[in-house]
Structure formats: structure tokens, C-alpha cells
Amino acid sequence: MEVIRKPIQIGNSKGVRIPATLIRSYRLDRGFVMKATHDGILISPVSGLKLSMEESFAAMAKDDSDLSTALEWVESGLSDGLED
């Protein structure tokens, strides 16, 4: 996807708006790193940030493959003895 954007004034600086769909798709909402490269600017999510338990379950609920994997673990006996 290629979109041409113009910088906007933000205080004494300039900035670029990143569409919400890209922020969600690339998980930039918790922070990101900007790195100058030979080809331009590389924006990538901050690594090492762990999701909270609620965020983990919400992310799994959005992806049926993750949910089916979790159900397979439960069915395999992984949670035996943890019911109480």
C-alpha cells in the first residue's frame, strides 16, 4: 500500500499522521522505533513489550487460529490440575 502524505505542523515540529489501520496492523500503538536507512525511514514496533493478560486474551479472541491452538492445549491435558 502506497499513500502520499504531507507533513503537518505539530507545535514547533512537523509530523506525519499514520492511519489507525496501519497502527493496529503493525502493533505500533504501544510505541515504535524510527530508524534512518539508505532507502528512507523504517518504522517498526518496539520489541520486548509484553501484553497484559487482558490484551493477550483479546488478541487471541480476534484470531481463530490462536483460539483453536489454546483449545488444543486444554484438550491435551495441559491444564490438568489447574481447574481449582
The rounded percent of the chain whose pLDDT value lies above 70 is: 65
Whether 3 maps to a domain, the answer reads no
Q: Residue 34 and residue 14: Cα distance in Å, rounded? A: 15
54 and 33 in one domain?
no
- Residue 27 domain boundaries: 8-45
pTM of the model: 0.48
Look at 6-15, 29-38, 72-81 and tell me which has the smallest mean pLDDT: 72-81
**E strands along 1-84, which residues?**
8-10, 13-15, 32-36, 41-45
Q: At what angle do helices 64-75 and 53-62 cross, to 10 degrees?
A: 110
Whether 83 maps to a domain, the answer reads no
What average pLDDT does this structure show over 6-17? 91
53 and 41 in one domain?
no
Tens digit of each residue's pLDDT (9 = 90 or more) over 21-52: 888 888 888 888 899 999 999 998 887 666 67
Domain count within the chain: 2
pLDDT of the residue at 38: 94
Q: Residue 19 and residue 26: Cα distance in Å, rounded? A: 11
